[in-house]
Amino acid sequence: MYSYSEFDAAFVAERNHQFRAQVERRIAGNLTEDEFKPLRLLNGLYLQLHAYMLRVAIPYGTLNAAQMRQLAHIAETWDKGYGHFTTRQNIQFNWPELRDVPEILDALAEVEMHAIQTSGNTIRNVTADHFAGAAEDEIADPRPVAELLRQWTTDHPEFQFLPRKFKIAVTGSPNDRAVIKAHDIGLQIVERDGEIGYRVLVGGGLGRTPMIGKVLSDFVSQEDLLPYVEATVSVWNLLGRRDNKYKSRIKITVHEHGIDDIRARVQERFEVIRPAFSGIDVALFEDIKTAFAPPAFRQDGTEVFETTYKTDPIFRSWADTNLIAHKAPGYAIVQISLKAHGATPGDATADQMRVMADLAEFYGHDELRISHEQNVILPHVHKSNLPALHAILKKHGLATANIGLISDIIACPGMDYCALATARSIPIAQQIATRFDELKLEHDIGELKIKISGCINACGHHHVGHIGILGLDRAGVENYQITLGGDHTENATIGDRTGPGFSADEIIPAIERIVEAYLDQRQDRDETFLEFYRRVGMAPFKTALYEQEKSYAAE
Amino acid sequence: MPKEFTPKVVTANALLEGDVVYQTVDDRWSRHLSEAELISDEALAKLRLAQAEGQPELVVGPYLADAKPSDDGPQPTHFREEFRRTGPSNYHHGKQAEVN
């Protein structure tokens, strides 16, 4: 893992020192809220519906055990004993008091973490594939370049007052698990004639106007990457609309000007700034890469795993659902579900955080990842350790075998916490998970991604859910719109709206009717929900949603 | 005819804790909506809001929220204010678990 340089540590310490003084001046009445708000947002501190909320960056979703333990310590000391992992691989503390925030930031700095640029019109936390360094299909680990980008973007003087926020995601695999097509810039590591480089996508995004990212360049070399990304952000910084916040994101700039025009402008700007990049960035990148060298993988037998797999059905179900093939022989990628049926998606208690930290330390080469799907990953576990690991997870409510299934739901905080929300999303996720658990159907249904947002800003990625749910306020009542057929992968697709929305009471039965229609009409168990939707389209779902409802009413 | 004025309460978040608070008749900030001053007069509502805005050392982001009278003091008319009064609905914690 990357360790802070002296410069990094001094920078974070200085920022924390400044913020401590800013908080003191605000409390003493020497700063107004209008003066203080931009300062607190620079340090990830929001004021939400019921309390302050501190959003802490987890760069490219990677943590070690000591960092996870510190998050547990913060949750217990200054919050209500839990934290919430988000779709941008961050963690949010929902209840800090203003006076305590400088203490929390100092505690984070002790383990090389911070909350800088987790808010505001800056370049946000750079996210990456949560299987980085472990995935079988990986061309190269995306984290070194994500770290390079983190260093380049942090406090970059040209990019502190952008037209709007700016999000970058990186994948090192052709199978995209980082939703790069829904980011302002998406980077895909590719290989051309033996050379590693980057395919650059631009102008993706969800929110009010969802757009799939477009290819800006098919291949940018390592030497050209930073100037090319800088040129792209610069073009938007000048061209992006500051008159209307709904039109300010780069997706609108690309849409309005066309990708060819943007590409030409980026190329022109690139040629101007390229000479200023003397190669220090490439040397730094090589240094960073060594920090992400793979751990020394063990050579060991997997008999314990095979035996337990044959004899313990609970373990087998968990292994079938929550494990992913690892690139190293004898190893597995473990996905820990933070989606126990009826629990809040993405929440972990301080105790659970400590357990996961211990497991990472004992069995997982001291590595943890946070996925954008709000789960925790132990990327490198030898299969011989899996039965012991599973037994410990089970004791702490962390062994739910539902990754990729209907109860593994992404849900934004919604109106239970968020000041921007127009409706709740967590209780909808809780009810869907509980209902399908009662029906004992979820393994039969198979892969089905439900994603729920509590407002049009789409933090819950509803547009790219196989089933997307968007909570709105319709004349003072919560109302939920459904979209179908969204896809968050390399085949990214925006889902189609089914029609009129449903009330909070009607939405769970509506989801049930959708799933029944799929189960009744799929060719066989191998045809996934998404494949079925792509084959048959909206018609059977419209019938199930709207016509059956009418016929029930008529009975 | 001018539109009938919907009664209001002045609400905000406490500067230090971030808690939802309501302005009372005797110029306190209460955690309980039931103790809030229900304002039925538009001019008075504007004045009371202006007074709240003059207390940045105590509260953040004061605004007027619709409310209706009841035997137990003002009640919310919109679900957002219902959640602000009670706390998160995903499980029992936050305000509902702490305010007596």
pLDDT in tens, A470-513: 999 999 999 999 999 999 999 999 999 999 999 999 999 999 99
> Which residues in B lie closer than 8 A to residue A473 (C-beta atoms)?
79-80
> Which residues in A lie closer than 8 A to residue B87 (C-beta atoms)?
50
In a domain, B96, yes or no: no
pLDDT above 80 for A64: yes
Under 8 Å CB pairs connecting chains A and B tally to 71
A257 and A169 in a common domain: yes
CATH of the domain at A344: 3.90.480.20
Closest CA of chain A from B3, distance in Å = 18
Cα B31 to Cα A287: distance, rounded to the nearest angstrom: 54
Closest CA of chain B from A346, distance in Å = 13
A310 and A287 in a common domain: no
A200 and A55 in a common domain: no
Contact A50 B18 (CB under 8 A): yes
> Which residues in B lie closer than 8 A to residue A29 (C-beta atoms)?
56-57
Question: Is A49 within 8 Å of chain B by CB?
Answer: yes
Question: Is A477 within 8 Å of chain B by CB?
Answer: yes
A173 and A228 in a common domain: yes
Is the Cα torsion angle A68, A71, A73, A79 positive or negative in sign?
Answer: negative
Contact B80 A47 (CB under 8 A): no
A332 and A367 in a common domain: yes
How many domains does chain B divide into?
1
Instruction: Report whether A332 contacts A373 (CB < 8 A).
Output: no
Q: Is the pTM of this model over 0.90?
A: yes
Q: Which domain does A332 fall in, by range?
A: 303-395
Q: At A162, give phi and psi (nearest 5°).
A: -75, 165
Instruction: Report whether A335 contacts A386 (CB < 8 A).
Output: no
Q: Which domain does B18 fall in, by range?
A: 8-89
A269 and A172 in a common domain: yes
A515 and A421 in a common domain: yes
A316 and A287 in a common domain: no
pLDDT above 90 for A299: yes
> Which residues in B lie closer than 8 A to residue A478 (C-beta atoms)?
79
A432 and A337 in a common domain: no
In a domain, B1, yes or no: no
Other C-beta atoms closer than 10 Å to the C-beta of A79 total 22
Contact B95 A417 (CB under 8 A): no
In a domain, A104, yes or no: yes
In a domain, A403, yes or no: no
A318 and A248 in a common domain: no
User: Which pLDDT score, from 0 to 100, does residue A550 have?
Assistant: 66
User: Which pLDDT score, from 0 to 100, does residue A552 have?
Assistant: 62
- Its ipTM equals 0.96
Cα A76 to Cα A92: distance, rounded to the nearest angstrom: 13
In a domain, A127, yes or no: no
In a domain, B97, yes or no: no
How far is residue A390 from each of residues A46, A348, A366, A373, measured CA to CA in Å? 37, 17, 17, 21
CATH of the domain at A205: 3.30.413.10
A146 and A96 in a common domain: no
How many domains does chain A divide into?
4
Cα B53 to Cα A181: distance, rounded to the nearest angstrom: 44
In a domain, A124, yes or no: no
Cα A224 to Cα A271: distance, rounded to the nearest angstrom: 10
pLDDT in tens, A348-388: 999 999 999 999 999 999 999 999 999 999 999 999 999 99
User: Which pLDDT score, from 0 to 100, does residue A151 have?
Assistant: 94
A239 and A138 in a common domain: yes
